[in-house]
Structure 1
Amino acid sequence: MHGKFLSLLTLLLVLSVSTSAQKKARSFNIVPLGVKGGIDESNLSAYMVGAAGSNNYLCMDAGTLHYGIEKAVSKHTFNVPAETVLRQYIKGYFISHAHLDHVSGLIINSPEDSTKSIYGLASCLETIKTHYFTWDSWANFADEGEKPALKKYSYKPMEPGKPVSVEGTGLNVQVFPLSHSNLTGAAYLVKNNDAYLLYLGDTGPDEVEKSTKLRELWQAVAPLITKGQLKAVMIEVSYPNEQPDKSLFGHLTPKWLMKEMQVLQSFTGEGKLKGFNLVITHIKPPQKNINKLKQQLKQQNTLGLNLIFPQQGKRLQF
């Protein structure tokens, strides 16, 4: 009996050490405020990204803010009022492109928000400046554009190859251009110490877009995967495979995503993507299409990727 007790105690200690090591290894917290594309205005692309153990976050896109924060509070992801999360926890916005489903939450919540910066490619910020934060369409809460400028937000144009640090977060962010039909979108590579997270805004496959932007991105991040430093990729898949290529409008299907993952594997080496975290974003309603898309992804996942379907308000940790 004494030997059995010692064995049980040893097992519990091993499990405790293992669990502690896993927790210690976590580098990022992600809180999805909106996970869909399409017509559901209460659940559009927006993801809070922070260093593990911190309440200081970046917001990757801002399609839905207030409803998503309320959802996170209701799920006890946050134990503070929603206005605290909006005003104090979010330290800056990284907008992939200026389509409404990626910026509407930012615009609508601006009167209640606190002073912070909006980051993005110059073309994206120019659209926000000239189409949204104007006195005809809303009010100019930014530091440039139509007068009077209320100066709550400051525009921070980003350039590929020039990482930026966001004060108070400990995070460093680098931008990569993407091809999204007629627009140049953006992907953001977030760095926390020696760990990385990659967030992609809307993008079409290189073959359809007649582009090499995804290939260049995969080539850039492949060494981080082989070293175990890239913890996850967040990437859109908008339509099931039945969507014709001519009607993709700069989006991915399960078939095209897996073709792009094959390109990524050509840079990482065979087998390196097995178990790798792939967070699927921007799935468009209706629900029957969402169900079909998820089934197709699972069926075509020959690389053994760890497919993750985020839920609004529920924390992810990597």
Structure 2
Amino acid sequence: MAALPAPLAAEPVRPHVFDVVPLGVEGGIEEGATTAWFIAPRGGGAGLTCDAGTLVPGIRAAIDKGGFPAGTKASTVLHERIRAYLVTHPHLDHVAGLVMASPDDVAKPIFALPEVNAALAQDYFNWSAWPNMADRGKPPFLRRYGYRDLTPGVPAVRVEGTGMTVSAYPLSHGGALSTAFLIEAKGDALLCMGDTGPDAVEKSSRLGALWQAIAPLVRQRRLRAIIVETSYPNARRDEDLFGHLTPRWLNAELERLAKEVGDRSLMNGLPIVIGHIKPSIDGSDEAARTIAGELNDQPSAGVKYIIGQQGRRLGF
């Protein structure tokens, strides 16, 4: 899709700080393509995933499409390059890959809000749905994964082996708790957001609080990109959103961010990476094309919208 026009006074191109490989970008139905984003410092090799709805099929797709270097083995990515998992919320399309790959994975942490980690222990790694591959919940503990609880608003926590830190902010998702993760490296940041509805529909103030928290990073030109869902086209009724966004609502929320930033020109060209579009059962890409068109019809604050594609590496 065509990018938005560049600002009239274009700033010098800055070197990328983050490599992002979408392992899965769908909002359901496609079992091998549900939400997962591999994020690493540029050229650093080792990183983490923000959500893990798909792992091995997404890694294979990324190798085929150049997201990882030619000749890379899927096992190398799973065992060596992915050093940790960030889980925004425990819905199946965000954790299925993590659960399925766990018997063949290596030891690593799962970073999440306490309620999310508790749900993973209770609903998945419980010796009923799946063996307990973690270090909490129903014994015996196989300890493949270690739950690392994050506290909202607490200074960033180091993710060992990646050169990155992470902090967590709660989001409202149709009555469920979701999470936005602020990932920082080399003095800059990237925001990876889980499923969320707009504050006005959710009767929440969580997005407003998130915009307040990240506005200083935009003013300082330290926020490199935002990864966010847009599940449905604008024709979807508010009462049928079930905790998701449309282009109209995303633009409205980004307008709120622009107001927090103060100087709207500082939003010009900010990459907004779109994922979690709900696919058609029949395989049509009509929803994605409609959403892409609606985003660019009324762009908010000069941001640059990018539709995430499975396996296609992005740099920010």
- Match of 1:255? 248
- Any runs of at least 4 consecutive aligned residues in structure 1 with deviations exceeding 3 A, and if so which? none
Partner of 1:6: none
Q: 1:283 is paired with a residue of what secondary structure?
A: coil
CA deviation vs aligned residue, 1:92-123 (integer Å, no higher than 9, x gap): 00000000000000000001111000110111
Counterparts of 1:60-99 in structure 2 under 5 Å? 60-79=50-69, 80-99=72-91
Report how far residue 62 of structure 1 moved: 0.2
2:266 is equivalent to residue 272 of structure 1 = yes
Equivalents in 2 of 1:102, 1:169: separation in Å? Answer: 22
Name the structure 1 match of 2:202. Answer: 209
Q: Equivalents in 1 of 2:110, 2:56: separation in Å?
A: 17
The one of 298, 301, 314 equivalent to 1:300 is 298
Residue by residue, what CA displacement relative to the aligned partner does 1:50-96 show, whole Å, maximum 9, x if unpaired?
11111111110000111110011112332310011001100000000
The question of whether the paired residues in 1 share the 8 Å contact of 2:53 and 2:98 is answered with yes
Specify the code of the residue in structure 2 equivalent to 1:169.
Answer: T
Cα displacement (A) at 1:302? 4.6
The alignment partner of 1:198 has SS state of: strand
Match of 1:200 among 179, 193, 202: 193
Residue type of the alignment partner of 2:42:
A
- 1:123 aligns to 2:118 (yes or no): no
Structure 2 CA distance, aligned partners of 1:225 and 1:122? 28
Shift of the 220–302 alpha-carbon distance from structure 1 to 2, 3 Å rule, reads: closer
Equivalence for 2:145: 153
After superposition, the C-alpha distances for 1:160-182 in whole angstroms (9 at most, x for unaligned) are 12221011111010100001111
Q: Is 1:174 the counterpart of 2:167 in the alignment?
A: yes
- Shift, 1:272, TM fit: 2.2
Offset at residue 201 of structure 1 (A): 0.2
> Quick one: distance in 2 between partners of 1:118 and 1:99?
15
Q: Which is bigger in relative contact order (C-alpha 8 A, separation at least 6)?
A: 2
Q: How high is the TM-score relative to the length of structure 2?
A: 0.92
1:214 maps to amino acid: L
Q: Which moved more, 1:270-279 or 1:220-229?
A: 270-279
CA distance in 2, matches of 1:57, 1:194: 16
SS in 1 for 2:218: helix
Q: Which residue of 2 aligns with 1:288?
A: 286
Decide which of 194, 218, 221 is 2:214's aligned counterpart.
221
Higher alpha-carbon deviation: 299-308 or 210-219: 299-308
Which residues of structure 1 form unaligned runs of 5+? 1-20
Aligned letter for 2:51?
D
> What is the match of residue 229 of structure 2?
236
Mapped to 2, the partners of 1:99 and 1:285 lie a distance apart of 17
Aligned to 1:9: none
- Deviates most, 127-136 or 286-295: 286-295
Task: Select the structure that is richer in helix.
Answer: 1
Measured after TM superposition, the shift of residue 288 of structure 1 is: 1.6
TM-score (norm 1): 0.91
* Equivalent-residue separation in structure 2 for 1:61 and 1:246 (angstroms): 26
Gaps of 5+ in 2: 1-11
Distance of 2:221 and 2:68 partners within structure 1 = 29
Which has more radius of gyration? 1
The offset of 1:314, in angstroms, is 1.1
Aligned residues: 297
State the secondary structure of the residue aligned to 2:99: helix
Question: Which residue of structure 2 aligns with residue 13 of structure 1?
Answer: none
Q: Which amino acid counterpart does residue 124 of structure 1 have in structure 2? A: V
CA RMSD of aligned residues (A): 1.2
Which whole-Å CA distance do the structure 1 matches of 2:199 and 2:66 have between them? 40
Contact residue 221 and residue 266 of structure 2 kept, 8 A:
no
| Alpha-carbon separation, structure 1, partners of 2:86 and 2:298 | 31
Secondary structure class of the residue paired with 2:67: coil
